[in-house]
Amino acid sequence: MKKVTYLSISVMLLLAHTGYCQKIRTLFYDDVLYGKVKQVIALNYIPGTTIVEVTDTTWYDENGNTTENHRKTMRGTLFKERYINSSDAHGKKMEIIGSERDQVLSTKFNENGILAEYSSHFKNGSLNFRSTYKYDDKNNMVEYISFDKSNILTQKRTYKYDGNDRLISLDIWAQSGNLLFHTDFDYSGVDKIGNWTRRIGHRKSPNGKPEDVTIVRQIEYY
């Protein structure tokens, strides 16, 4: 009887742990989250100050899909996008409803259902911009490339992670192939689920002064 009881408790704990620690990816970003995340508010501070430059608020459904994002700058500018997920025989689909009415936004997903391309076209069909994304075998984003309206590469970003899928370094490259910025990341706040709540990026450029870039996150769970 005791063996059955212990086995039942073990199974329950395993199921609880597995369900609570699902791994999700934030659309368009290098970030991986754990658990049933409902909302993340990220406060991006101006380097060396306590002034919030950008506030990003992102919502997720219970399956871990990004459903909405609002970005507010210190000047009061507000960008809004809503994402409606679906799938068919050809794979994952997404409808994007944005606040910029002159653009048509679209996405393409890879065989794992992860974002592979994001593009914006004007109403006349001409390209506004295009971005592509690549991932490692743990589905961590390792490369981001942006293209302009002439489909010419404008910027490349490469990412490295630790064993907990946490970003540890970022390199930003110019169109010429020259390094613009290198950033190493430290984490001074982590919640009980394992998601970071405070991150400091130590940003350096080949010819510029080093800067510390701080982001503080407030995370709400289902």
State the pLDDT at residue 88: 84
Residue 53 has pLDDT above 50, yes or no: yes
Residue 61 has pLDDT above 70, yes or no: yes
State the pLDDT at residue 6: 44
SS3 annotation, the chain? CHHHHHHHHHHHHHHHHHHHCCEEECCCCCCEEECCEEEEEEEEECCCCCCEEEEEEEEECCCCCEEEEEEEECCCCEEEEEEEEEEECCEEEEEEEECCCCEEEEEEECCCCCEEEEEEEECCCCEEEEEEEEECCCCCEEEEEEECCCCCEEEEEEEEECCCCCEEEEEEEECCCCEEEEEEEEEEEECCCCCEEEEEEEEECCCCCCEEEEEEEEEEEC
State the pLDDT at residue 35: 94
In the predicted model, what is the mean pLDDT of residues 51-79? 94
Q: How many Å apart are CA 215 and CA 220, to the nearest integer?
A: 16
Alpha carbons within 13 angstroms on the beta-carbon side of residue 75 total: 2
156-209 pLDDT, tens digit per residue, is 999 999 988 899 999 999 999 999 999 999 999 999 999 999 999 999 998 888
What is the domain class of 2-221 according to CATH? Answer: mainly beta
CB 81 within 8 A of CB 98: yes
97-114 pLDDT, tens digit per residue, is 988 888 999 999 998 889
